[in-house]
């Protein structure tokens, strides 16, 4: 058991270090191509870290035949927006709180409101429609709804590129570039080559995913050792371990005060997860959302509505709002355990 606990901590450490290298690489790409904060946070970082979770339901649906595999796929598709809109939001609020207590920053979140409002609005429209319309209209809505979702994400990406957003704030020099410059001396120049930038991004992402796998396996072993129902583990803890580790990028950015990148990393991933993976579920599964699966979707929608209402009414995003989302996850866990 001591070994399992050690592996649990090791997996978490691997995730944190890899997340630091990933965010550093993404920021370098943004500086190289003069991308805005919205593009870097809501598109590049969001899609990059969402891809591993997107692969899981696709593998379950296409490579493992049968009804159970498709049910697992649907659960994974719905689990991603649920975790992002509850625990990932909570993680940002908690980081801001800890940093404020440690006098690292003020207890506030400085974000580009129009960027966050755009992300959340797109998510609410597309995800709510994808979950609720098939309940009302049945399978006849599947194909047009899928086309609408894919077109919606294309429109979202175009608006994000074209929308107003500030340039990247001061960022650290790319980590892989530092030793290269030292070895090459003055001939190293000031700008790292694109190939080296992409190498750092892909290596750190791969290490992050492997760290998540170590974390999941160790967490599962520990939970079973203490007698936790494997079903409860699958519904509550496994999605946390597979979805949240990659969002430690947001922890890194929040700690450094780059709140637009931190929040955009999450809300951008929510938009992506509500379109491409959902489209796979609509076309290749029965997509019957009921019971606890429907409740998880409704909680994701509720959390997003609260965030959007805060932006519209208070003209800001507060850490308290983000911390509130963690309470919604706790509510879901209690309903699941005591139902």
Mean pLDDT confidence for 231-243: 58
Rounded to an integer, what distance in angstroms lies between the CA atom of residue 68 and that of residue 60?
9
- In whole angstroms, how far apart are CA 276 and each of 41, 55, 157, 243? 18, 11, 13, 16
Instruction: For residue 272, give its domain range.
Output: 2-165+173-338
Tally of domains in the chain? 1
Q: Residue 112 has what pLDDT?
A: 86
Does pLDDT of 162 surpass 60? yes
Per-residue confidence band for 230, with pLDDT thresholds at 50, 70 and 90: very low
Residue with the bigger pLDDT between 317 and 188: it is 317
Which residues contact residue 184 at a Cβ distance below 8 angstroms, ignoring those fewer than 6 apart?
none
Q: Residue 169 has what pLDDT?
A: 58
Mean pLDDT confidence for 168-173: 62
Does pLDDT of 69 surpass 70? no
Q: Per mean pLDDT, which range of 74-83, 167-176, 246-255, 318-327 is the poorest?
A: 167-176
Rounded to an integer, what distance in angstroms lies between the CA atom of residue 267 and that of residue 304?
9
Does pLDDT of 149 surpass 90? yes
Axis crossing angle, helix 291-314 with helix 319-338, rounded to the nearest 10: 160
Residue with the bigger pLDDT between 28 and 127: it is 127
Mean pLDDT confidence for 161-169: 65
Q: Residue 245 has what pLDDT?
A: 63
Give the global pTM: 0.78
Neighbours of 335 (CB within 10 A): 12
Residue with the bigger pLDDT between 72 and 90: it is 90
Does pLDDT of 271 surpass 90? yes
**For position 161, which CATH number holds?**
1.20.1420.30
Does pLDDT of 107 surpass 80? yes
Per-residue confidence band for 298, with pLDDT thresholds at 50, 70 and 90: very high
Q: Residue 220 has what pLDDT?
A: 60
Residue with the bigger pLDDT between 72 and 78: it is 78
Mean pLDDT, all residues of the chain: 81
Which single residue is written with the structure tokens 């750190």? 204
Rounded to an integer, what distance in angstroms lies between the CA atom of residue 251 and that of residue 259?
9
Q: Give the pLDDT confidence of 91-104 residue by residue, as tens digits.
A: 999 999 999 999 88
Q: Give the pLDDT confidence of 21-65 residue by residue, as tens digits.
A: 877 887 788 778 777 777 777 777 777 766 666 666 666 666 655
* Percentage of the residues of the chain whose pLDDT score is greater than 90: 29
Which single residue is written with the structure tokens 């049968």? 66
């Amino acid at each position: 058991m001591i070994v399992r606990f050690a592996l649990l901590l090791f997996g978490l450490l691997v995730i944190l270090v890899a997340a630091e290298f990933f965010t550093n690489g993404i920021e370098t790409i943004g500086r190289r191509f003069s991308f805005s904060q919205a593009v870097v946070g809501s598109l590049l970082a969001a899609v990059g870290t969402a891809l591993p979770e997107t692969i899981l339901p696709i593998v379950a649906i296409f490579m493992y035949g049968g009804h159970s595999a498709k049910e697992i796929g649907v659960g994974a598709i719905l689990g991603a927006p649920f975790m992002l809109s509850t625990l990932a939001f909570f993680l940002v609020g908690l980081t801001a709180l800890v940093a404020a207590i440690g006098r690292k920053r003020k207890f506030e979140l400085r974000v580009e409101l129009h960027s966050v409002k755009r992300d959340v609005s797109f998510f609410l429209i597309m995800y709510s429609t994808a979950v609720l319309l098939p309940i009302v209209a049945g399978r006849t809505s599947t194909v047009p709804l899928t086309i609408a979702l894919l077109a919606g994400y294309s429109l979202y990406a175009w608006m994000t590129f074209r929308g107003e957003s500030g340039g990247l704030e001061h960022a650290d020099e790319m980590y892989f570039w530092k030793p290269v410059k030292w070895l090459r001396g003055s001939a190293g120049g000031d700008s790292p080559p694109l190939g080296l930038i992409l190498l750092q991004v892909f290596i750190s992402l791969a290490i992050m995913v492997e760290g998540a796998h170590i974390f999941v396996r160790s967490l599962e072993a520990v939970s079973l050792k203490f007698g936790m129902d494997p079903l409860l583990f699958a519904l509550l803890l496994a999605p946390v371990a597979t979805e949240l580790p990659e969002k430690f990028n947001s922890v890194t950015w929040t700690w450094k005060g780059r709140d637009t990148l931190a929040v955009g990393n999450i809300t951008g991933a929510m938009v992506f997860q509500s379109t491409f993976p959902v489209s796979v579920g609509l076309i290749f599964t029965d997509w019957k959302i009921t019971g606890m699966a429907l409740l998880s979707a409704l909680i994701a929608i509720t959390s997003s509505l609260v965030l959007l209402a805060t932006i519209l009414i208070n003209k800001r995003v507060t850490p308290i709002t983000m911390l509130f989302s963690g309470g919604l996850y706790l509510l879901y866990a209690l309903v699941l355990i005591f139902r």
